[in-house]
Structure 1
Amino acid sequence: MSDQPVKLIQKATWVGSIANVALAIVKITVGKITGSQALVADGVHSFSDLVTDTAILIGSRYWTAPADKGHPYGHGRFETLTNIFIGVLLAAVGLGIGWDSISSIGHEQTTTPGMLAFVAAVASILVKEVLYRWTLIQAKKINSRALYANAWHHRSDALSSLPVAIAVIANWVVPDLHYLDQVAALLVTAMILKAAFEILWPAIWELTEAEADTELESQIQQYADEDPDIREVHAIRSRRTGSSILLDFHLLVDPEMSVDRAHTIAENFKSHILKQIEEVVDVIIHIEPYTCAERVMNPCCEGTCDDSGEQGNKSE
């Protein structure tokens, strides 16, 4: 990876970190002053964003490193581990907030959160939504799954501030609605846990060596059909390593073709795939002759094909 994507990751993360510190301090302070437990919980959530920002700043130094002898397939799994860390931390924060909310439901609330809590919640929604959209744009530019996960962390923070704002307004209009602030904090918990699952599941799926993309095989088949020198491709396998995909498959050509010509066809096809599918960073192609013994997509019947694998005439 060139220096430009790394700088973009660090820039987006630093911007988010500064915003998270400011929002966390404001929300926790205002929450304590106004007696809004939900706003305090939301402030803690913002501090958890800061921890994940740190994980990305540290992790990006490793997953962007080029392949070496110790890691011949690159260091992309460091990005996967960073995503798992983000997801686990987010889930832990959500469960902690939920436990505190449930524990406080049995205690009478002595104060009703003031309008200052509402202003802080709305400000958080606006700032975090802007951060989400901007970070998502940066993630798409360089196809960074970790940056994409952090963008959704910003969105979860924006969403978690919404029930806080609603609870403050409801308490202000109807002060007798006891425990509404705690209920809002539980809604914050649910949103945080949902965001954690959406970050964790793809990362765990990747570690199980699952197929990288269900649509990838049909794309490769389509590209092969467009190349007149390629008779067939099969045994297509893909796996993800961080934001990158490693691909391998068997490519069948005319059995009378020279090895040099077959190699050139395979190399050109590889270059075409790398150009068309940005996530794919490496392709291993196993060249085979297009004969009955090797054909899979269009198998020929025994006794009806010549040595080249072409369908023969049964009457001959």
Structure 2
Amino acid sequence: MTRQSAFSAPGRFWRGNLHTHSNLSDGALPPEEVCRRYRAQGYDFLALTDHYVGIYDYPLVDTRPFRAEGFTTLLGAELHSGAMQNGELWHILAVGLPEDFPRVGSPDFHAWPDQETGPEIAARAAAAGAFVTIAHPQWSGMTLADARSIDAAHAVEIYNHSSAVGADRGDGFAIADLLISEGRNLSLIATDDAHLFDPDHFGGWTMVRAEENCPEALLAALKRGDFYSSQGPQIHDFYVEGDRVIVECSAVETVIAVGHGSSSNVVCGRAMTRAEVPLKWKGETPWLRAVVIDAAGRRAWTNPVRREGF
């Protein structure tokens, strides 16, 4: 039997948003109010990730004063530098940056010549200790070649609520699954990318398993892949046993096991809290992940497990 690490690691799940903006870049509200709203909504942690560009004076917002009992924050930013293949600026999400991270990247939202490239600024952030994510690939018009070039990424943003609400381009599954099929060890995060002008908040989050709700423990768990992502459903367990994928969760209508290429199997039912999905194509896929969908159409996603583990 192989159990995905989020469901075998010690600790409990903590709910958080890893991509958020304030009025220190292009968001609507000051950092203190953004943190207050997420805390009031029942979130355990928040990363405020304002756009790290010169026109906003490269904000790496110190949210430590807004921590409280039961609620913590991680320091981070959305980094921008260089051009993707479509000529547009890179968006690299970096959570867990140190306070002294250098003021690097684009002076504005244009890809100027002679800038550090996207892969280079991602590697810089990872070397500084950050959890690095390829942000909203569908919204950005990112190519597979673009995504391949980010060697330092820990994760792909597979659901971005702001991009879904504002552009109907909220997912990153095609890019993520192709990279995973090529052997990349990537996890999958869901976020709001909230700016709080529109209903772009409280729509996607990451459930991180850690022994403590503190920045150090959360960041280490993120780097290990000890989490799942959700729009609403809860996933309590996910493992492979023999020729079956087992998922235990809150009440859902659909459970899907997804793998390489066209590999997928589905089980449907009413208010299922446990499903056994046949693994008919075990020999055809090097990896597996699970998706659950509730009666309202809201989804939750596990990180993948590799075939050598099942």
Query: TM class, shorter-chain normalised?
Result: under 0.3
- TM-score, length-normalised on structure 2? 0.24
Between Structure 1 and Structure 2, the one with more strand by share is: 2
Q: Over alpha carbons, which structure has the higher Rg? A: 1
